[in-house]
Every structure is written in structure tokens, then in C-alpha cells.
Amino acid sequence: MSTQQPKSEQLKNAVKWISEKRKKNSDINLTKLVDEACFQFDLSPKDSQFLLRFVKNDDHQNPA
């Protein structure tokens, strides 16, 4: 049984998880990756939208 984490902690973990996945495969589809992270970390739709904007913005600032 897993312990409940505050939403902000879940969001931080999702960002870390996405970062690790992108290091392994820089060509991965960001929308699909965010969807997987939202499911895995039980994020709200609002967090999902934020996460997608965050990773896309990061992608523009730090191109591979």
C-alpha cells in the first residue's frame, strides 16, 4: 500500500520522472510522456496542463 503524497510532491516526482525518460530518449513524444506521468503520479487535469506547458517550454529553452 502506497502512502499519499501532497500534490506538489507528486508533481515534482513527475517532472523528475519525465526528465529521466527524456535523457534516455530525447525524441520521445512529450504529450504521450506527460499522459503517462499523469496516470503514474495521479495528477489532476490542472497539473497535467501545467506539466505539458512546463516540459514544452523546457524543450524550447534546452533543445537537444
pLDDT digits (tens, 9 = 90+) for 9-55: 999 999 999 999 999 998 889 999 999 999 999 999 999 999 999 88
- Grid coordinates standing for 39? 496516470
Gap between the Cα atoms of 26 and 48, Å rounded: 20
Q: Domain tally for the chain?
A: 1
Has residue 16 been placed in a domain?
no
pTM: 0.78
Gap between the Cα atoms of 37 and 56, Å rounded: 14
Whole-number Cα distances in Å, 63 to 13, 22, 34: 22, 11, 18
Has residue 9 been placed in a domain?
no
pLDDT at 56: 86
Q: Is 35 in contact with 18 (CB distance < 8 Å)?
A: no
pLDDT at 46: 92
Has residue 10 been placed in a domain?
no
Domain encompassing residue 45: 27-64
pLDDT at 35: 95
